[in-house]
Amino acid sequence: MRGVLVIAGKDLRNLFLSPLFYGIAGLCTIAWTLVYFLGLQDFAQASAMSMMQGGQEGGANIHFVVFARHISLVNLVMIFSVSAMSMRLFTEEKRNQTMSLLLTSPVTATEITLGKLLAGLTAAWALVAISFLYPLSLRAFASFDWGPLISSYMGLLLITGCYVAIGMFASSLTESTVLSVVMALIFNVMLWFVGAVAEAQPEPPWNKIFEHLNVGTHFVNFIKGSVSVAGLTFFASVIVLMTFLTQRVVESNRWR
Amino acid sequence: MDMIEVSGLFKSYGPIQAIHDINFKVKRGEVVGFLGPNGAGKSTTMKIITGSMAPSGGSVRVAGFDVFEDPIEVKKRIGYLPENPPVYGDMSVESYLKFVAKLKGVEASRVKAQVEKSIEKTDLGSVRRRLIQNLSKGYRQRVGIAQALVSDPEVLILDEPTSGLDPRQVAEVRALIKELKGEHTIILSTHILPEVQAMCERIIIINRGHIVAQDSLEGLSTRMAGATQVKIKVARPSGEVEKSLQAIPGVSALVRVSMATLWRLPQVVPQTVRPTVSLSELLKQPFSRGRGFLSFAVRARILKRFS
């Protein structure tokens, strides 16, 4: 446990003291601000329309018009930015030749991997926290239901957790930062393409299987405000599986 | 008591045998030098002792703990300086050493004192707040040594500790290692003979993955005192040439230094011969007639070969 915190602490310190994190966070907020603003405009228009029609329909739903759109953009941006940040986790260590320091220190491969995961999660979740400021700031002007927003953010935290674990695994496989980023991107995007396969498989046993493997269905459920055991299990198992694979790769350094 | 016990160590990278049946013991407080040309297997042996690489066969015990059964116990006791100092360019010297101290399990209350101590020993006070990426190679190497010392380990494994240093720094590092003698058990590798003479009590000579000799410095020089090394160049070396050289009475060892080069350039076959071997005997050998016996040189002491 000590090793986990020491390694995570070092990585986070180096990340938050480097311009990389601020560069990524800055670029993310530019994209988010533009689209969030457009979402708000659409919402204002839709509300005005329903007001003119007498307001019987109950007006537009801010969660779907503004927040859901914001969250799906955050997700899209995270696929790229988390891949870029998580490449550092192991690839940098190997390029710096500092991997031998970690491997000859009294820490286990599991501690090294969990330390890296913790650092990656903290960095990625810091970005998610920044994106949470957008809906939060709206609270000053309007009242809305917290429930679906919180469940959406739960989904967002879990899915970025998956991206981190996948990126960490990719970075453990190679010494090349470029290859590591490209691999992470491909794995992350593949996660979403399982959905396309699911749609192309109408046969009974397969469509169910692919539906459960589809990030899209689980994530949309979180956005809709339904937190299901199936969804939690899915995300948790992706993270655990990727962490386990990374741990095996790190451990294999000892016997290769 | 034996601090380090290496027995029957093998390592192969695919078809290439890096080290071959390495056996040695190091007593507590002893300073042992690994001497050998590049690619002899020094680094491989050191990596295996530190537990960062697994051998293909054999075992290593450090302070009574098996490296593969109790790796954590072993690693607590080892400070390791690899060939390239394992430093993070974007950290300052001081924060880097703090990180290593914590990573090596130094108690939180002693971290600061240990960092100070290793900074002082390696004379890094003037650069402690600078980023490691902005330091010269010599300073980086010293940061590497400081890193190995910071947890005050019982065993120090230093892979070419003086490489990249200027002569004054080399002298300083040698003095430092002498100072550490007794407190720590030290294994260091080098391909420079005076280095070993200056710092070590015992020498292990490795060549092509084999231990060629291991003895105290005095023992080794007396053993080799009578021997003469003769370096012979032939244009068309073959197994036959080697065989006939070995057949000369008095030849104790035959080492080929360079393998085939481009366009059949002359090759060098040095050999150790007792002084009793007469030159005429050499010249009588078949390879000397029409087979391109190009030159030979006589060297007085075998140890020179490593310098």
Which CATH number fits the domain that encloses residue B295?
Answer: 3.30.70.260
Nearest to B114, CA basis, from B167, B153, B64, B142? B153
**Residues A6, B51: C-beta atoms closer than 8 Å:** no
How near does any CA of chain A get to the CA of B112, in Å?
Answer: 15
**Residues A10, B99: C-beta atoms closer than 8 Å:** yes
Contacts of A97 in chain B (CB under 8 A): 82, 84-86
Domain that holds residue B114: 2-222
Q: What is the pLDDT of residue B234?
A: 65
Q: Tell whether B162 and B72 lie within a shared domain.
A: yes
Q: What is the pLDDT of residue B88?
A: 92
Q: How far apart are CA B280 and CA B268, in angstroms?
A: 20
Place of tokens 């010392």: B149
Q: Tell whether B213 and B257 lie within a shared domain.
A: no
Query: Nearest residue of B to residue A112 by CA position?
Result: B103
Could you say which residues of chain A have pLDDT below 50?
A: none
**Residues A106, B104: C-beta atoms closer than 8 Å:** yes
| Domain end marker among B204, B222, B240 | B222
Q: Tell whether B184 and B275 lie within a shared domain.
A: no
| Domain end marker among B177, B192, B222 | B222
Mean pLDDT of B143-165: 90
Q: What is the pLDDT of residue B286?
A: 53
Q: What is the pLDDT of residue A116?
A: 95
User: A residues 5-64 near B, CB within 8 Å?
Assistant: 6-7, 10, 13-14, 17-18
**Residues A96, B87: C-beta atoms closer than 8 Å:** yes
| Domain end marker among B192, B222, B252 | B222
Contact criterion met (CB below 8 Å) for B142 and B118: no
Nearest to A62, CA basis, from A72, A53, A70, A52? A70
Could you tell me if residue A96 is left (phi over 0), alpha (psi between -120 and 50 degrees) or otherwise beta? alpha
Q: For B11-22, how does the pLDDT look when each residue is reduced to its tens digit (9 = 90+)?
A: 888 888 888 888
Q: Tell whether B142 and B237 lie within a shared domain.
A: no
| DSSP character string of A104-147 | TSS--HHHHHHHHHHHHHHHHHHHHHHHHHHHHHHTTT----HH
Q: Tell whether B117 and B97 lie within a shared domain.
A: yes
Q: Tell whether B178 and B78 lie within a shared domain.
A: yes
How many Å is the Cα radius of gyration of chain A? 20
State the pLDDT confidence band at B302, using cuts at 50, 70 and 90. Answer: very low
Q: Tell whether B145 and B6 lie within a shared domain.
A: yes
Nearest to B47, CA basis, from B150, B200, B189, B213? B189
Q: What is the pLDDT of residue B35?
A: 85
ipTM (interface pTM): 0.85
Q: What is the pLDDT of residue B238?
A: 65
**Residues A105, B75: C-beta atoms closer than 8 Å:** yes
Contacts of B105 in chain A (CB under 8 A): 2, 105-106
State the pLDDT confidence band at B68, using cuts at 50, 70 and 90. Answer: confident
CATH number at residue B180: 3.40.50.300
Of B90, B91, B105, the CB nearest to A106: B105
Contact criterion met (CB below 8 Å) for B11 and B55: yes
Q: Does the beta carbon of A112 lie under 8 angstroms from any beta carbon of chain B?
A: no
Q: What is the pLDDT of residue A256?
A: 66
**Residue predicted with more confidence, B53 or B299:** B53
Would the pLDDT of B261 be above 60?
no
Domain that holds residue A44: 2-252
Q: What is the pLDDT of residue A128?
A: 93
Q: Tell whether B148 and B258 lie within a shared domain.
A: no
Domain count for chain A, please give it.
Answer: 1
State the pLDDT confidence band at B233, using cuts at 50, 70 and 90. Answer: low
Would the pLDDT of B305 be above 50?
no
How near does any CA of chain A get to the CA of B212, in Å?
Answer: 27
Q: How far apart are CA B265 and CA B7, in angstroms?
A: 40
Contact criterion met (CB below 8 Å) for A28 and A77: yes
Q: What is the pLDDT of residue B236?
A: 63
How near does any CA of chain B get to the CA of A108, in Å?
Answer: 7
Domain count for chain B, please give it.
Answer: 2
Q: How far is CA A98 from the centre of its chain?
A: 27
Q: Angle between the A2-17 and A109-138 helix axes, to the nearest 10 degrees?
A: 50
Would the pLDDT of B273 be above 60?
no
How near does any CA of chain B get to the CA of A9, in Å?
Answer: 9
Query: Nearest residue of A to residue B51 by CA position?
Result: A104
Contacts of B95 in chain A (CB under 8 A): 13
Q: Does the beta carbon of A95 lie under 8 angstroms from any beta carbon of chain B?
A: no
Q: How far apart are CA B51 and CA A106, in angstroms?
A: 10
Q: How many CB atoms lie within 10 A of CB A37?
A: 12
Q: What is the pLDDT of residue B94?
A: 94
**Residue predicted with more confidence, B294 or B196:** B196
